Chains A and B, each alone.
Chain A
Amino acid sequence: MAENKVKKVTVNTTINGQEMDILIDPYVSLLETLREVVGITGTKEGCNDGNCGACTVNLDGRIVDSCLVLGVEAEGKNIETVEGMASPDGLHPLQQAFLEEAALQCGICTPGFLVSAKALLDNEPDPSEERIRHWLAGNLCRCTGYDKIVKAVTKASKESK
C-alpha cells in the first residue's frame, strides 16, 4: 500500500550553544526532535499535550512546552535545555540549590522546573514566593508538594546575586 511519503526537512538551529543541521519529519514535535533525533533525553515527556511542563525548553528567551512546538519551528532559533545549564566549571546555582534543598524526589519533572526557573531568574533576579509559584504553575510535580522547589528557587535567587 502506498504510504503518504512525507519529505524530511533540514532545520538549522542552535541547541545549548551548538549550531547544527538536523534532518526531521516536518510533523515531529521539538520534544521528539530533541529526544529522538538530537539524542538528548533530559527533556521529558509527561503528557505530550502541554499540561505538565516536563518538556519545558527555552526558545529564544521564552519558555515553551516543547511538545507543542514543531521541530521545524526551531529553524534559526536558540534552544536551551537542561543539558545546557551546567558548565564544565560546575552546576548552575539553581541545580545546586535543588540538590541542597532536596527539591526533587523522583526527578522526572526536575529538568522542566530548572529550565522554567532559570528563565524567571534571568529576568527577575529576586522574585517573591507568590511570583515563583505563579511562574512555575505550568510545571507539575507530583512528589514534593512544591515547597522545597519554591525554597530552592528562592535560595538560588539569593545566591546568584
Chain B
Amino acid sequence: MVSTPENKNYKVIGTRPIRHDGYDKVTGRAQYGADIKLPGMLIGAVARSPYAHAKIKSIDTSEAEKMDGVFAVMTAKDLPRLGDIVRGNSEESGSERHLSENVMAFEKVLYKGHVVAGVAAKDQNTAFEAVKKIKVDYEVLKPVINVDQAMAKDASILHEDYLGDHLGKKVKNTNIAAHVRHESGNIDDGFEKADLVIEKEVDMQTVHQGYLEPHTGTAVWDEEDRVKIWTSTQGSFAVRDSVSKVLDLDVSRIKVTPMEIGGGFGGKIPIYLEPISAVLSKKTRRPVKTVMSRTDVFDASGPGPGGKVKVKIGIDSEGKILAAYADIRLEAGAYPEAFIEAAAKCVFSCYDVPSMKIDAYDVVVNKPSSAPYRAPASPQVAFATETVVDEICNIKGYDPIDFRLKNVAEKGTRTALGPKYRTIGLKECLEAAKDSDHWKSDLDSNPKSGKKRGRGIASGYWFNIGFKSSVNLSLNPDGKVALTEGSTDIGGSRASIAMQAAEVLGIPAEDVRPSVVDTDSIGITDVTGGSRTTYATGYAAYNAAHKLIEQIIEKSALKWDISKDQIEYSDGVVKSKTDSELKMTLKEIADDPPGGPIVSSASVDLEEAGGGFAVHIADLEIDEETGKTDVVNYTAIQDVGKAIHPSYVEGQMQGGAAQGIGWALNEEYFMSDDGIMLNSSYLDYRMPTSLDLPMINTIMIEVPSEEHPYGVRGVGEPPIVPPVPAIGNAINDALGLRLLNTPMKPSRITEALKRKK
C-alpha cells in the first residue's frame, strides 16, 4: 500500500500528550501477566532439564501426583504429537513440531532449562515441592554450545530427524538448519580491482532481551473445549495461533486476553507456559497460572543469537566500495531460525555496494531457542561491517562520516536481497551527525591519569515490517471516540495509534480512548514487533477514522435531509457547505444518529515501512589499569519518518542505545563447557544501571516514509544496531586496540593491552 505523505500542519501529531494508559501505570493499578487472580486458581510449576543435551529415558511423576495439594501433573505425553509443518508468524518461523517440543520436550532435551513436566498445585510452594519429586532418567549427550562446535565434522547432532536446507539441497545429520546465499555483481572482479581490501571476523556471545517481567501463562480449559488465556505477550493473535497448533485446537476455540506487558524486545513473541497451564487446567477444570523465575527466563527464553560474522570489503583508490563479502554464522539455539535472512538484508544495508556476496548459516546449538531481539541479527552483522569500515577509514585517513556519505545507500540503491530502497534517510542522518554538537566537540584527549578517551561512530539499519492490523472506532454520545485495537502496548503505542485517529478527526488525543482488547473482540492483528505497530496499526486507525467521518457525514445527511456532497467535516464539526445554519458538533451528531450508532472499522495488510537508519556517536573513557569503560558522551541520530509522539520516539532511541551499550560492554551468556549458563541472574548478567549511562542525546531526523500517510517509519529497532560497533570503534580510537569479541568487558581490554605491550 503506497500513498503520498500528507503535508500539512498537524494538530495532534508531533505533540506530547500524556499517554492514555499512563495513570494506571504510575499508580500500580495496571495489571501485568503475573497480576491476574481468578476464582479457584491453581498455581503451576514446571520441571526443567539440568542438562544441555540429553535423551529422556523415562519420567516418573508418581511421587508428585501423590502429594497433598497437587491437583495435576503433565508431561509431553499430554500434548498432541505434531508433524513437521512449517509455520510462520511475522518475526518468527520454524516448524509446528519444534514449537511444541520447545514448550515441552518429548524425547530429547536440547538446552538446560528445557521443560519436561508440569504440575498444578494449591499454591506456589506446593507446586515447587512437587516439581522436585518428579524423577527423570536422562542419558546425557555431549552438547554443542557455539557455531564452531555445532558446525564441526564430528559434532553432536541436535535433530537427527531434521533435514537442513543447504543452498536448496536437503541434508541430514547436520546442525546447519539452513545455508542461504545472496549474490549480486561479480565480487571476484571487485576485490581484484580494489586498492584496499579489509577483512575482519567478529565473535559474539549470546545475549538476552532482559525484559523486567518474567513470562507468565494463565489458562482455563472449559467443558466445551474452549481455552481462555491471559498472558503478557507481544502478540495475542500470535499466542492464539501458536497455542492452537500446540494443542491442536481450532483458533476459534482459543481466546487470548493480553495483560499489560512488562517489556519484550521480541522475546515475548514465542509461547512458553500458556499451553502448559491450559493442559493442567483441562485436567483440573480450574484456572492455572504459571510464572517463570528470573533464572528460568535466562535459561529457557529469548535469547538473542551469538555467533560469528566475517566481513570483507574492497575499495578503489577514490574510496568507493567495489565489493563486499559476508560470512554469517548465527546461533539459532535449540530450534532453527536465527534470522539469517534479516542478517543478509542488514549486513551491507548502509552502503551502495556494486557487487556483493553473502553466505548465511542458521546453526542449532544447545542453548534456549533464540527469539527475536530488537532488530534481530542486525547488531551482529553491523558489528562486523562497521568495524571493517572504521578500519578502512583509519588506514586511509578518511573522515568516517565522509566515507559513509561517499558510499551512502539512498533511494534507488539496490539492497542485498534485490529490491531497491524507496525514500530513506541515512544520508540526512550522516549529515546531521556531522553537524552535531557532539561530533564538532573536541574529545578531551588528556583526561585523568591512567585513563584514555576515544570516539567511535557507526550506522545501523532495520527494515521495519508491515503485515496485518485491525482497529475499531465508536463515537460515544458525548462526542468522544472509543478505539479498540489488537496491538499489545509495549511502550506507548496506545498513544501513538490514538493520536493518528485524533489527527484525522481533528480532535484532541485525549478524546480518543484506546483499549487493547482480546482476540474475540478485534480483527487479526500481528505482533507488536518489527517496528510495525505505530506504522501498521496506526494506518488502520487512520483508515478507520476516515471511515468514521464518512459515517458522520452520511448520518448528518439523513438528519438534515440533504445530499452528502453538501456536507463537510473538520475538527470535530460537521456542517453544510451552503447553509451556515446546519452545523453539529460530534456530541450533537452522536446523540441520536439516524439508523444507529456511528462506528467504523478498518484493517490493513502492509508491506515494509521503508527502512529506518540510525547513526550513533560514542565517547568513552577507559581505565587502562582495570579495563573499566565509561560512556561519557553519547548521541543517537535516527531517521524516524514522522515522530507521532516525539517523547516516546526519543525513548525508543535512548532505550535501544542503552541495550546496545550493555551488549557491547557487559552482557553475555557465560557458559560452562557442559552448556550451563553460569550467570543466570541480574547480579551476574550485568545490564546497564542508571549509574552506568550518561544522558543519551537524541537527534530525530524526519524523512517521511512513502508508505504511510503521515510518513511513519518504525523507530524501535534501528537504535540497538550501531552501539556495539560504535563502542568498538571508540575503544580502538582510545587504545589502538581492535576488539572483535562481545562483550568488550574489562578483562578483554586489559588482556588485549597486555598483548599489545
Contacts and interface: CB of A to CB of B under 8 A. Distances in A.
A136 to B, nearest CB: 5
B356 to A, nearest CB: 34
B252 interface: no
Contacts of B125: 25, 27
What's the interface size class on B, roughly? Answer: 35 or more
B23 interface: yes
Contacts of B28: 40-43, 81-83, 111
B627 interface: no
Interface stretch (A7-15, A70-78, A93-101): A93-101
A51 B212 CA distance: 11
B31 to A, nearest CB: 7
Contact of B26 (A51, A98, A134): A98
A68 interface: no
A47 interface: yes
B687 A150 contact: no
A149 interface: yes
A139 B690 contact: yes
Contacts of B25: 104, 107, 110
A48 B68 contact: no
A101 to B, nearest CB: 7
A144 B32 CA distance: 18
B263 A99 contact: no
Interface string B1-28: 0000000000000001011011101111
B647 to A, nearest CB: 4
A1 B687 contact: no
Interface in B691-720: 691, 693, 695-696
Contact of B67 (A1, A44, A104): A1
Contact of A99 (B23, B32, B265, B294): B23
Contacts, number: 188
B32 A44 contact: yes
Interface in A95-127: 95, 98-102, 104-111, 114
Contacts of B490: 105-106
A148 interface: yes
B35 interface: yes
B491 A148 contact: no
Contacts of B655: 105, 142-145
Contacts of B683: 49, 51
Interface string B44-79: 000000000000000000000011110000000000
B285 to A, nearest CB: 23
Nearest to A129: B695
Contacts of A42: 27-29
B611 interface: no
A54 B212 contact: yes
B657 interface: yes
Contacts of B213: 44, 46, 106, 108
A54 B263 CA distance: 13
B693 A145 contact: yes
Interface in A1-60: 1, 3, 25, 27, 32, 35, 39-49, 51-52, 54
A106 B211 contact: yes
Interface in B669-703: 681-683, 687-691, 693, 695-696
B658 interface: yes
B262 interface: yes
A142 B212 contact: yes
**Which of A44, A100, A106, A111 neighbours the largest number of chain B CB atoms within 10 Å of its CB?**
A106
B566 interface: no
A105 B492 contact: yes
B30 interface: yes
A99 B26 contact: yes
Contact of A49 (B27, B265, B647, B681): B681
Contact of A144 (B30, B210, B654): B654
B458 interface: no
Interface string B490-515: 11100000000000000000000000
Contacts of A141: 212, 690
Interface string B201-234: 0000000011111100000000000000000000
Interface residues of A, number: 60
B16 A1 contact: no
Is chain A's binding surface mostly helix, strand, loop or mixed? loop
A69 interface: no
B261 interface: yes
Contacts of A134: 690-691
B651 interface: yes
A35 B216 CA distance: 15
Contacts of A45: 34, 214
B303 to A, nearest CB: 14
Contacts of A3: 67-69
Nearest to B653: A145
Nearest to A146: B690
B378 interface: no
A89 to B, nearest CB: 14
A108 B212 contact: yes
**Which of B28, B30, B67, B491 neighbours the largest number of chain A CB atoms within 10 Å of its CB?**
B28
Interface string A124-161: 00000100111011111111111111100000000000
Contact of A105 (B210, B648, B689): B648
Nearest to A27: B125
B27 A52 contact: no
B621 interface: no
Contacts of B149: none
B651 A51 contact: no
B91 interface: no
A84 to B, nearest CB: 9
Given A42-B29, A82-B27, A99-B23, A47 B682 contact: yes
Given A137-B691, A142-B687, A46 B26 contact: no
B212 A140 contact: yes
A144 B26 CA distance: 15
Contacts of B262: 44, 46, 106-109
Contacts of B29: 42
Contacts of A82: 26-28
A54 B25 CA distance: 13
A46 B681 contact: no
A95 B213 CA distance: 21
A24 to B, nearest CB: 12
A104 B66 contact: no
Given A137-B690, A141-B212, A147 B681 contact: no
A114 to B, nearest CB: 7
B726 to A, nearest CB: 15
B687 A140 contact: yes
A156 B400 CA distance: 41
B651 A102 contact: yes
Nearest to A96: B26
Given A35-B34, A98-B26, 8 more contacts: A42-B28, A44-B212, A46-B294, A102-B648, A106-B262, A133-B693, A142-B209, A143-B263
29 contacts: A1-B66, A25-B125, A35-B35, A41-B35, A44-B34, A45-B214, A49-B682, A52-B212, A91-B23, A101-B647, A102-B651, A105-B655, A106-B211, A106-B264, A107-B25, A107-B262, A108-B211, A114-B26, A134-B690, A136-B689, A137-B691, A140-B212, A141-B212, A141-B690, A142-B655, A143-B263, A145-B696, A147-B651, A148-B647
Instruction: Sort A-B residue pairs by CB-CB distance and give the 7 closest, nearest first.
Output: A42-B28, A108-B262, A145-B658, A105-B491, A107-B25, A102-B647, A145-B654
Interface of B: 16, 18-19, 21-23, 25-32, 34-35, 37, 66-69, 124-125, 209-214, 260-265, 293-294, 490-492, 645, 647-648, 650-652, 654-659, 681-683, 687-691, 693, 695-696
